[in-house]
Amino acid sequence: MAQHHILKSKEDFSTFVSEVESRPGYARPYAYALGVATCWQSEIGGEHKVLDTRFLAINVEANYGTWAVLDDAIENLTGTVELLDDGIYDQIFDRFHAFRDEEGHHNIEALRILSEIAREDPEYIAGEVRSRIPVIAVVHTVDEQPTSAQEAYLRLHLLSLRHVRPREINLDGIFGLLNNVAWTNRGPIDPEAMNVFLAFDNLAGEHIGVHSVDKFPRMIDYVVPTGVRIADGNRVRLGAYLAEGTTVMQEGFCNFNAGTLGACMVEGRISAGVVVGDHSDIGGGASIMGTLSGGGKEVISVGEHCLIGANAGIGISLGDYCTIEAGLYLTASTPVTLHEEGSMTVVRAKELSGASGLLFYRHGETGRVEARPHNPSWGGLNTTLHQNS
Ligand SMILES: CC(C)(COP(=O)(O)OP(=O)(O)OC[C@H]1O[C@@H](n2cnc3c(N)ncnc32)[C@H](O)[C@@H]1OP(=O)(O)O)[C@@H](O)C(=O)NCCC(=O)NCCS
């Protein structure tokens, strides 16, 4: 039976791909990836929950020949599919027969590794079961909501690998798809099993380091973007988007679906959904309000060449060349006395949201919050600090 699927030449392969692509209902996805999900079960045969997913090959708007092979071999390849069946691998490798002696086909190499992982025995930890399950995860379009934890992981990877910018991919419902995980030096573990695991392994003389218990892992355990410095990996969640030249210092933080669009200095907090433009500086302890909790609705952007001073904060967006005085927390409804062409008017800060070229400060004598047009005098980013090669 498998014999019928062997495609002996590259021409046969091309013909086959064209035939699959002409089938009714066939669609090329925006992205698909081959990876391994770490799964947890309280006992063999029980329900398993996904703790994380690592990808060996991520394809974005590319490699549709492999997609056609997978689509043909796997029924219902509309969402995430676990690849455990030996027969499926045999069929897939028969399709790739013409490429078998060539190197550099990262999807074929990934599938070879996955076929070996599919045969692995599970591990027993604290009397429970951890296994590695090969998967295909798909993002048909960036507008659709994710439907599985594995697909949520793929979307977070697409952000951190800079295939999509924050807010360009739908992450609705992601908290419901991701499980809470104890992130340890022995891999991801179900938090409910942790106390038994810690007690038994410590008695056995093993040291277990747990660095966080969270639904999101730290980014740099999965993706290390080029040209960035991250002083403390715990402060950047997977799904952060950090552009080349960005430095995140120890007190800086960057949530998922948020980040920098150019070289930036981050010593404060970039909340989910927030983007910061090129050559801006988020000062030590500064905060940019997010929308995940606390009632805020406006998703904030900071333009280029802005400085948010140390311990300052904003609940409005900034255009380019804006400065917020150190320590000033500007919420959307803060009354601001605006100096303009010799006159002064009082407006709510939200009316200035997105405006460029403003300096916001508390008047040294009256304490009143004021804004005035300015040419920033803070000198811009220190270029030596931002050559992150
Ligand atoms: C807000 C800040 C930028 C003002 O700096 P500055 O050098 O005084 O700014 P400028 O000279 O450009 O000020 C422009 C005008 O606003 C006035 N102004 C600025 N801050 C003022 C204040 N608190 N009260 C009254 N007037 C003020 C200045 O007097 C000046 O007025 P003038 O043109 O009539 O003389 C500065 O105080 C600050 O907070 N910097 C943040 C630095 C920081 O935290 N970096 C991150 C490190 S981690």
Same domain flag for 137 and 103: yes
Give the C-alpha separation, 120 to 132, whole Å: 8
DSSP string, 121-149: PPEEETTEEEEEEEEEEEES-TTSPP-SH
Same domain flag for 98 and 152: yes
Phi/psi of residue 259, nearest 5 degrees: 155, -155
Give the sign of the dihedral formed by CA 222, CA 228, CA 233, CA 234: negative
Atom of ligand 1 nearest to the CA of 372: 16
Q: Residue 360's pLDDT band (boundaries 50, 70, 90)? A: very high
Over its C-alpha atoms, the chain yields an Rg (Å, rounded) of 25
Same domain flag for 190 and 229: no
Find the CATH number of the domain harbouring 209: 3.30.60.70
Find the CATH number of the domain harbouring 23: 3.30.70.2010
Q: Residue 377's pLDDT band (boundaries 50, 70, 90)? A: low
Q: Residue 292's pLDDT band (boundaries 50, 70, 90)? A: low
Same domain flag for 270 and 351: yes
Same domain flag for 161 and 290: no
The pLDDT tens digits for 97-145 are 999 889 899 999 999 999 999 999 999 988 899 999 999 999 999 999 9
| Mean pLDDT, rounded, for 203-227 | 93
Number of domains composing the chain: 3
Same domain flag for 64 and 165: yes
Atom of ligand 1 nearest to the CA of 324: 1
Give the C-alpha separation, 354 to 188, whole Å: 41
Same domain flag for 131 and 57: yes
Same domain flag for 161 and 197: no
Same domain flag for 16 and 75: yes
Least confident residue range of 340-349, 353-362, 379-388? 379-388
Least confident residue range of 11-25, 241-255, 292-306? 292-306
| Mean pLDDT, rounded, for 299-326 | 96
Residue 245 Cα to ligand 1 midpoint, Å, equals 27
Q: Specify the pLDDT at position 1.
A: 41
Find the CATH number of the domain harbouring 331: 2.160.10.10
- Which of 328, 333, 294, 330 is closest to 311 using CA atoms? 328
Residue 309 Cα to ligand 1 midpoint, Å, equals 10
Q: At a CB cut-off of 8 Å and minimum separation 6, what does 291 contact? A: 271, 272, 273, 297, 298, 299
Our measurement of the distance from residue 92's CA atom to the centroid of its chain's CA atoms, rounded to an integer in Å, reads: 30
Residue 283 Cα to ligand 1 midpoint, Å, equals 15
User: Using a 6 Å cutoff on CB, does residue 310 contact ligand 1?
Assistant: yes
Q: Specify the pLDDT at position 76.
A: 77
Tally Cβ neighbours within 10 Å of residue 173.
12
pTM: 0.93
Residue 317 Cα to ligand 1 midpoint, Å, equals 20
Percentage above 70 pLDDT, the chain: 94
Same domain flag for 265 and 208: no
* DSSP H or E run through 159: helix 149-160
Of the residues 148, 172, 196, which one is the last residue of a structural domain? 172
Mutational test site, ligand 1, from 322, 361, 363, max ligand atoms within 8 Å of CB: 361
Same domain flag for 224 and 122: no
Domain that holds residue 184: 180-216
Same domain flag for 247 and 374: yes
CB 154 within 8 A of CB 33: yes
Which of the residues 128, 151, 251, 267 is marked catalytic?
A: 267
